Amino acid sequence: ARAPREKPKAEAAPKPRQAPTDEAQMAAAAALARLELKPKAKAPVCSQESIRNQVRKELMAEAAASEKGLPEEEKEQEEGAAAPSVSGVYFICPLTGDVVRKDKKEKHLREAIQAYFSVDPVAASIMEIHTFNKDREKVRVGVETMAKYLDNIYLHPEEEKYRKIKLQNKVFQERISCLEGTHRFFQAVGFETKTLPVPGQGKETQGEQFYVLGEEMLARLEELRDAKEQLLSSEPLRARLDRQLRLFQPSAQAAHFELPDDFYNLSADEIRREQRLRTEAVEKASMLRTRAMREKEEQREMRKYNYTLLRVRFPDGYILQGTFYARESVSVLYNFVREALRDDWLPFELLGPGGLKLMDENLAFNECGLVPSALLSLCWDAAVMADIEAAAEQQPQSPLRPELLARVQTLP
């Protein structure tokens, strides 16, 4: 950074402002070129959008309108003055794009996957298998066994025995039947449930149940192979944390946070009890504990938080707010801020509470003491900003994106 220029003496006549240096003009030209050449956001893929629309239609037919989107009080906040913090933690459904509250997330995800059966039953059943069975080792074993069944059919289509799966088979029961979504997968790829006689027993016996692959699927073996590959390569479907990006006018209340219970692992009663006990014992504890003991206890305290609400105050006073996982890295916050800038290449630093620079972007928020909430400050690179301001022919624009400034809110 450049050293600050000395202020002119009081008795000296003010000097006329000099024209920008060649270096300043080059910096400004580069800044304007970057702005003009910055790539526009890509338009959504039509097929993905049509799928989302279809799933939304299915959900609207099955669920009440009150269960969709943000709660009414949140909508009112967006239309008027924003609350000082947030009303809860929200997620974005990857299938519908709907924003749902944390406690409605799993229910909405189930409904969305169920609706997706009308679009792609094979893919929907695979989503069920990977998403709703929590034991990942059981899922791995079950999926590999299912893939083996399909492999045998694909490699030996002439062998009738490979096209039949006995439902009471011990391996099938222990590895596959116990998993949610597996039966719907077999049905989706073309298997039918049939009762077949047991060899060596009389016709009067009831027989046993099998999955039998339909004859028509022998002409579509490539589809069977593709389904197997999709089954093996899929991952659990996860709703994405909604950052709930907000921009606030400068306010003296920026450091004031009121957080809902969604931000904590503990129940509300447990949180209140722990806060009371800490308040009563804080003086005694600070005298008796060593520094190492205090740091260990602080780390244990940090693990109680699942999420954190962070605010970044810009030099002009504007406040950018977002919701993050407590275990996300500081680099995520830097990217969050860059995405809010008119020019994301502008260099800056983030200062935590107390003015400490966040140098190590690999550290998690809970390792930096930035949970369950924190107010940070942003500092520009002084040399770059000075060059840009010197080269500007008009009043410098705000570094924030215009669409954010158009939606700026007020902290009460």
Judge if 261 and 355 occupy the same domain. Answer: yes
The answer to whether 316 and 248 have CB atoms below 8 angstroms apart is no
Residue 7 lies in a domain: no
Judge if 344 and 257 occupy the same domain. Answer: yes
Residue 47 lies in a domain: no
Which residues does 37 contact at the CB level (< 8 Å), separation at least 6?
A: none
Q: What DSSP element (H or E) covers 313?
A: strand 307-313
Judge if 219 and 97 occupy the same domain. Answer: yes
CATH number assigned to the domain comprising residue 396: 3.10.20.90
Say which DSSP state 160 is in.
G
Q: For tokens 């028509």, name the residue.
A: 216
What is the domain extent for residue 151? 90-233
Which residues does 115 contact at the CB level (< 8 Å), separation at least 6?
A: 54, 55, 57, 58, 59, 62, 95
CATH number assigned to the domain comprising residue 145: 1.20.58.2190
Give the three-class secondary structure for 365: helix
Judge if 203 and 260 occupy the same domain. Answer: no
CA dist., res. 109 & res. 239, Å (int)? 8
Compute the half-sphere exposure of residue 289: CA atoms within 13 Å on the CB side of its CA: 14
Residue 254 confidence (pLDDT): 92
Residue 66 lies in a domain: no
SS3 sequence of 11-61: CCCCCCCCCCCHHHHHHHHHHHHHHHHCCCCCCCCHHHHHHHHHHHHHHHH
Report the Cα 117 to chain-centroid distance in Å: 24
Report the Cα 361 to chain-centroid distance in Å: 18
CA dist., res. 63 & res. 104, Å (int)? 12
CA dist., res. 75 & res. 286, Å (int)? 45
Judge if 184 and 271 occupy the same domain. Answer: no
Judge if 267 and 147 occupy the same domain. Answer: no
The answer to whether 363 and 385 have CB atoms below 8 angstroms apart is no
The answer to whether 102 and 262 have CB atoms below 8 angstroms apart is yes
Our count of domains for the chain comes to: 2
Residue 25 lies in a domain: no
Residue 61 lies in a domain: no
Give the three-class secondary structure for 248: strand
Q: Which of 161, 162, 183 lies closest to 172 in space, CA to CA?
A: 183
310 phi, psi to nearest 5 deg:
-115, 140
Judge if 117 and 188 occupy the same domain. Answer: yes
Residue 226 lies in a domain: yes
Residue 109 lies in a domain: yes
Residue 3 confidence (pLDDT): 45
Judge if 225 and 353 occupy the same domain. Answer: no
Judge if 275 and 212 occupy the same domain. Answer: no
Residue 384 confidence (pLDDT): 83
End-to-end C-alpha distance for the chain, whole angstroms: 37
pLDDT, block means (10 residues), the chain with 412 residues: 45 46 51 42 52 67 50 46 70 95 94 95 97 96 97 93 93 96 96 84 73 91 95 96 96 90 68 63 56 58 80 95 95 97 93 91 92 94 79 75 95 74
Q: For tokens 């990977």, name the residue.
A: 130
327 phi, psi to nearest 5 deg:
-100, 10
The answer to whether 239 and 105 have CB atoms below 8 angstroms apart is yes
The answer to whether 298 and 285 have CB atoms below 8 angstroms apart is no
CA dist., res. 71 & res. 68, Å (int)? 8
Judge if 133 and 226 occupy the same domain. Answer: yes
CA dist., res. 396 & res. 391, Å (int)? 10
Residue 295 confidence (pLDDT): 59
Judge if 107 and 130 occupy the same domain. Answer: yes
Does the global pTM surpass 0.85? no
Residue 279 lies in a domain: yes
Judge if 269 and 175 occupy the same domain. Answer: no
Taken as a whole, the chain contains a residue count of 412
